[in-house]
Homo-oligomer: A and B are copies of this chain.
Amino acid sequence: MSDTSRAHALALDARDPLAPLRKRFRLPEGVVYLDGNSLGALPDDVPGALDDVVLRQWGVDLIRSWNDNDWWNAPTRVGAAIAPLIGAAEGQVVCGDSTSVQLFNALVAAVRLRPGRSVILTDPDTFPTDGYLADSVARLCGARVRRVPAGEAAAVLGGAEGADVAVAAYNHVDYRTGELRDLAGITRAAHDAGALALWDVCHTAGAVPIDADAHDLDFVVGCTYKYLSGGPGSPAFLYVARRLHDVFDPALTGWHGHQEPFAMEPGYRPADGIARARIGSPPILGMLALESAIGVFRETGMAAIRAKSLALTDLFIACVDELGLEVATPREHARRGSQVAVRHDEAHPIMAALIERGVIGDVRPPDILRFGFNALYVSYSDVVDAAAALGDVLASGSHRDPRFAVRATVT
């Protein structure tokens, strides 16, 4: 049995090598924040960095900032800062736009790279936007979407249908259950079938090592407002493996991806390298806030983050077990991301009651309570405090207060 006492949690905090990084985030008093898998907490560096962007770069340097403060290169520069966090060598990551837009662009490019193949393979339980965009790309490109659970994807790719798959597009983590998918295995099966592999790492970037280069991933799309704490609606990123750069042929041929944008030529000539994946004017405020936010990752490494994340989720699972609740997240480390999902018929009012007590997570239909653990700022004592609050809510029945029947929680 794990020791779930608060004393033990405090002891773990005392010897946690990442504990000093907690003060790099501004966490409100009285809150245990377990929703960093949806919106990361505010990094302490961000307000000052944004003040500089707004007051000096925009306010004083004005248009000159595109050169003088290097706004022009922000998409590839911030991409380069994200690269080591997903195991990518330089020059393969661009930052910009939303996850949805990047998924669309990558899916079109993937289908075009496999002419004669008609299938986009994806998960019936994929995050909704991934599925909607797969359907949209299939319609535009004359392909079709085949929905196969992640656990069966390798077998399908290895069977007769595999030869018709252009791209296997999967989520690294199931956004509901927190299950970590077999990224290496599905990628290998896709390649063995002659297909490409596209991974949505929204729920792992900054929390779980991804090793994009080592696993020969083709395309990786992720958001930056979850474990990377880039801020609300901060721009997404796209990784394109270097071997595809010369043939990468995206749909969104915006002028920032042109070989010579300021030649203002009438015809599109794609830029070399990952700059080809640029689209239009980047969202500078959000992108430079993000750049500042991820500075904290230079002070640690993904291995240390992963180790603590697993220890935090191990401890929370032990606490939830003691409460007799159903854990929907796999217990094996190799199959777990950085969140713990608890299944309960009253998930919604329970979470509303927890939030009122200062323990913030979220819910996903139909019956999932989600608790996300960002190793950079969540402590072991947070974990036992959150579990204690959950136990109190259930023991007292406070979630049955009619106020909690109507509360809406989004994103």
Measuring CB to CB, which residues of chain A are less than 8 angstroms from any residue of chain B? 26, 28, 31, 33, 35, 38-39, 41-42, 46-47, 50-51, 54-55, 57-60, 62-67, 71-72, 97-101, 104, 108, 124, 126-129, 131-133, 135-136, 140-141, 147, 223, 225, 231-236, 251-256, 258, 261-268, 279-287, 289, 355, 360, 362, 364-365, 408-411
B59–A411 touching, CB < 8 Å: no
Task: Evaluate contact between A129 and B254: CB separation under 8 angstroms.
Answer: yes
Most-contacted residue by chain B among A42, A62, A234, A262 (CB, 10 A):
A62
- B residues within 8 A CB of A360? 62-64
Contacts A54-B46, A132-B268, A285-B232: A28 and B62 contacting too (C-beta < 8 A)? Answer: yes
With the chains together, A28 CA to B61 CA distance in Å?
8
For A236, give the chain B residue with the smallest CB separation. B280
For residue A409, which residue of chain B has the nearest CB? Answer: B67
> What is the bound-complex CA distance between A289 and B231, given in angstroms?
14
In the bound complex, what is the Cα–Cα distance between A114 and B365 (angstroms)? 38
* CA distance in complex: A136, B42 (Å): 39
- By a CB distance below 8 angstroms, the chain B residues around A286 are 233, 283-286
Report whether B100 and A133 are in contact in the complex, using a CB–CB cutoff of 8 Å: no
Q: Which residues of B contact A232 (CB under 8 A)?
A: 57-58, 65-66, 71, 281, 284-285
Among A55, A133, A233, A261, find the residue whose CB has the most chain B CB atoms closer than 10 A: A233
Alpha-carbon distance A47/B62, docked complex (angstroms): 15
Known: A66-B411, A67-B410, A72-B410. A28 touches B233 (CB 8 A): no
Out of B62, B100, B267, B287, name the residue touching A41 (CB < 8 Å). B62
Known: A51-B47, A131-B266. Is A280-B100 also a contact (CB below 8 A)?
yes
Residue of A108, A140, A285 ringed by the most chain B CB atoms within 10 A: A285
Q: Are B264 and A364 in contact (CB under 8 A)?
A: yes
CB distance from A4 to the nearest CB of B (A): 26
From B129, B133, B231, B362, give the contact of A284 (CB < 8 A).
Answer: B231
Note all chain B residues with C-beta closer than 8 A to A46. 54
Nearest CB on B from A167, distance (A) = 17
The complex places the Cα of A265 from the Cα of B125 at a distance, in Å, of: 9
- Which residues does chain B contribute within 8 Å of A64, judged by CB atoms? 355, 360
Contacts of A254 on B, CB cut-off 8 Å?
98, 100-101, 129, 132-133
* Residue picked from A135, A254, A267, most chain B C-beta under 10 Å: A254
Check A62 against B39 for contact (C-beta < 8 Å). Answer: yes
A-B contact pairs, 17 of them (CB 8 A): A26-B59, A39-B58, A42-B55, A42-B58, A64-B355, A71-B233, A72-B410, A72-B411, A97-B97, A100-B256, A132-B253, A133-B253, A135-B267, A135-B268, A225-B281, A231-B285, A261-B410
In the complex, which residues of chain B have a beta carbon less than 8 angstroms from the beta carbon of A55?
A: 26, 42, 47
Cα distance A399–B135 when bound, in Å? 56
- Given the complex, which residues of B lie within 8 Å of A258, measured CB to CB? 128, 132
Best-buried of A38, A65, A255 by chain B (most CB within 10 Å)? A255
Smallest beta-carbon distance A47→chain B, Å: 5
**Roughly how many angstroms separate A233 CA and B411 CA in the complex, as a whole number?**
24
Complex formed: what's the CA distance from A148 to B387 in Å? 67
* Contacting residues, chain B, for A133 (C-beta < 8 A): 252-254
Given A124-B266, A252-B104, A360-B63, A283-B234 contact (CB < 8 Å): yes
Say yes or no: A54 contacts B136, CB within 8 Å.
no
Q: A101-B279, A141-B140, A233-B282 are in contact. Are A42 and B59 (CB under 8 A)?
A: yes
